[in-house]
Amino acid sequence: MNIKSVLAASTAVMLAGPVMAEPTVEVLHWWTSGSEAQSVAVLQEQFKAEGGTWTDMPVAGGGGDAAMTALRARVLSGNAPTAVQLKGPAIQEWYEETGLADISAVAEENNWADVLPAQIAEHMKCEGQWCAAPVNVHRVNWLWGNKQILDDNGIEMPTTWDEFNAAAEKLQAAGITPLAHGGQSWQDATIFETVVLGLGGPEFFQKALIDLDPEALNSDTMKQVFDEMRIIRGYVDDNFSGRDWNLATAMVMNGEAAFQIMGDWAKGEFLAAGKEPGTDFVCAQTPGTGFLYNVDSFAFFELDGEEKQQGQALLAKLIMGPEFQKTFNLNKGSIPARTDIALDDFDSCAVESNKAMTAGAQNGSLLPSFAHGMALRGAQAGAITDVVTAHFNSDMSSDDAVQQLVDAVANSM
Ligand code: GAL
């Protein structure tokens, strides 16, 4: 460098004032479907607009199993990402294992405690300090239907599992695949938990999948749940194995199947394809009552470097920003985690979701999703999912499945 450019460079620094670290984040997440990518892009844009540098680390695989494996590998090799999509008890598990950055200053400055439902706020805390930031509330127990197919076949959205079975038989007789499903273990578990809720009711769900009460696990009701799972297995097409959830949603969209049982991230896909609720597709709670919630959130590892710490603080602040919570959730199919966002621009399914959540909080049927890592620690959730998948993909009897469930849960403690 000659003297002239040295001087020019130092003048530039002087003009710019004291050197501020530029907020930087590397964000590990599993939002790779069309609507998911569109949703996370909102955050990325806002982060960049605030002068930040975003490095994206998407790990494909619905439900996040692959992302969590990638996360573990990164942490074990001493290279933790600045921010990670993390939710439910996994937040506290990581906190215990490695520590997580304390974002209480951001949370307090922005009054998170005043705008979040207490139950959600609780998930975001580690030993009293804020250690995660929530982006949304997804409802898991949704049934999606292709309006045209249902109308053509004189079928109403079922409100009991018997009605669901009757509708499915009718569709099958007409040569239509009743249920679009992706045979991945988290999707099997998603159906399973809606059947547990529907056949057993909220109290049974609480006992079986949250309290892991041996009596509930080893009950006739649980046997009936596996009976229904076996029936449902008969309603999926031959190519269901390994299919991604959004491809199953596309089957309903394109008239290749009548129904899908999936959380309302499926609605994000319908909307991204320009489909209208009530016109092209219909939403209804899966047979039964209650609200299985799945709250997506981000947590931050304790890392050195001012630019990383500033990046974490900025990201946490943006995630809980009213504007972001609205735009993100319009794309994602969920509703805002903040209770002070008007839902005027949201569709009828979102409004219905919000109503059910409020009712659920009042009558005790607002329950954390087991299949989406909100209810149990990893070992227990994994043990149950393994049994559910093994049953779904074999001719295992319901009696054997119940026994395996009891044993697997006991062994996972
Ligand atoms: C869930 C997650 C949703 C959605 C879905 C499919 O676990 O909470 O936001 O991404 O997986 O990937």
Query: What is the predicted pLDDT for the residue at 69?
Result: 97
- Structural domain containing residue 368: 139-293+355-412
Do 271 and 213 share a structural domain?
yes
- Contact (Cβ atoms closer than 8 angstroms) between residue 215 and residue 241: no
C-beta 186 within 6 A of ligand 1: no
* Pairing verdict, β 297-300 and 83-85: antiparallel
C-beta 85 within 6 A of ligand 1: no
Do 172 and 71 share a structural domain?
no
Encode pLDDT of 141-196 as tens digits.
Answer: 999 999 999 999 999 999 999 999 999 999 999 999 999 999 999 999 999 999 99
d(CA 302, CA 282) in angstroms, rounded, equals: 44
C-beta 62 within 6 A of ligand 1: yes
Do 305 and 266 share a structural domain?
no
Residue of the CA atom closest to atom 6 of ligand 1: 62
Residue indicated by tokens 């040295």: 6
Encode pLDDT of 182-197 as tens digits.
Answer: 999 999 999 999 999 9
d(CA 140, CA 368) in angstroms, rounded, equals: 9
Query: What is the predicted pLDDT for the residue at 20?
Result: 72
Task: Estimate the crossing angle of helix 265-272 against helix 245-253, to 10 degrees.
Answer: 50
**Where does residue 17 fall: left (phi above 0), alpha (psi -120 to 50 degrees), or beta otherwise?**
left
C-beta 369 within 6 A of ligand 1: no
287's tokens: 């047979």
Q: Which of 349, 373, 392 is the last residue of a domain?
A: 349
Mutate which of 65, 187, 296 for ligand 1 pocket (most atoms within 8 A of beta carbon): 296
Do 276 and 193 share a structural domain?
yes
* Pairing verdict, β 24-29 and 53-58: parallel
Encode pLDDT of 262-319 as tens digits.
Answer: 999 999 999 999 999 999 999 999 999 999 999 999 999 999 999 999 999 999 999 9
- The rounded Å distance from CA 269 to ligand 1 centre is 12
Chunked into runs of 10 residues, the chain (413 residues) has average pLDDT values of 41 50 96 97 97 98 97 97 98 97 98 96 98 98 98 98 98 98 98 98 98 98 98 98 98 98 98 98 97 98 97 98 97 98 97 97 96 97 98 98 98 95
- The rounded Å distance from CA 63 to ligand 1 centre is 5
- Contact (Cβ atoms closer than 8 angstroms) between residue 388 and residue 213: no
- The rounded Å distance from CA 27 to ligand 1 centre is 16
| Nearest atom within ligand 1 for CA of residue 245 | 6
Do 33 and 57 share a structural domain?
yes
d(CA 307, CA 20) in angstroms, rounded, equals: 8
Q: Which of 313, 329, 349 is the last residue of a domain?
A: 349
- The rounded Å distance from CA 85 to ligand 1 centre is 10
| Nearest atom within ligand 1 for CA of residue 61 | 12
Helices (H), 279-332: 306-319, 322-332
Q: Which of 349, 365, 391 is the last residue of a domain?
A: 349
C-beta 30 within 6 A of ligand 1: yes
Residue of the CA atom closest to atom 5 of ligand 1: 63
Q: Output the CA torsion 397→400→405→407 (10° steps).
A: -170
The CA-CA-CA angle for residues 354, 358, 364, to 5°, reads 135
- The rounded Å distance from CA 62 to ligand 1 centre is 6
C-beta 88 within 6 A of ligand 1: no
- The rounded Å distance from CA 32 to ligand 1 centre is 10
Query: What is the predicted pLDDT for the residue at 21?
Result: 84
- Contact (Cβ atoms closer than 8 angstroms) between residue 400 and residue 383: no
Do 111 and 47 share a structural domain?
yes
Q: Which residues contact 330 (CB under 8 A, 6 or more apart)?
A: 345, 346
Query: What is the predicted pLDDT for the residue at 167?
Result: 98
Residue of the CA atom closest to atom 1 of ligand 1: 63
Quickly count: other Cβ atoms within 10 Å of residue 289's Cβ.
17
Do 48 and 167 share a structural domain?
no
Do 86 and 63 share a structural domain?
yes
CATH assignment at residue 218: 3.40.190.10
175's tokens: 């040569």
Do 377 and 277 share a structural domain?
yes
- Contact (Cβ atoms closer than 8 angstroms) between residue 178 and residue 258: yes
Query: What is the predicted pLDDT for the residue at 19?
Result: 59
- Contact (Cβ atoms closer than 8 angstroms) between residue 377 and residue 89: yes
Q: Which residues contact 401 (CB under 8 A, 6 or more apart)?
A: 226, 387, 390, 391
- Of the candidates 360, 359, 356, 325, the one whose C-alpha atom is nearest the C-alpha of residue 343 is 325
d(CA 50, CA 318) in angstroms, rounded, equals: 10
In sign, the C-alpha dihedral spanning 272, 132, 65, 357 is negative
Do 336 and 272 share a structural domain?
no
Query: What is the predicted pLDDT for the residue at 327?
Result: 97
- Structurally, how many domains does the chain consist of? 2
Do 391 and 375 share a structural domain?
yes
Longest distance between any two alpha carbons in the chain, whole Å: 85
What one-letter code names the amino acid at 68? M
- The rounded Å distance from CA 355 to ligand 1 centre is 21
Mutate which of 184, 294, 353, 385 for ligand 1 pocket (most atoms within 8 A of beta carbon): 294
* Length of the chain, in residues: 413
Do 305 and 289 share a structural domain?
no
C-beta 296 within 6 A of ligand 1: yes
In sign, the C-alpha dihedral spanning 193, 198, 203, 208 is negative
- Rg, C-alpha atoms of the chain: 23
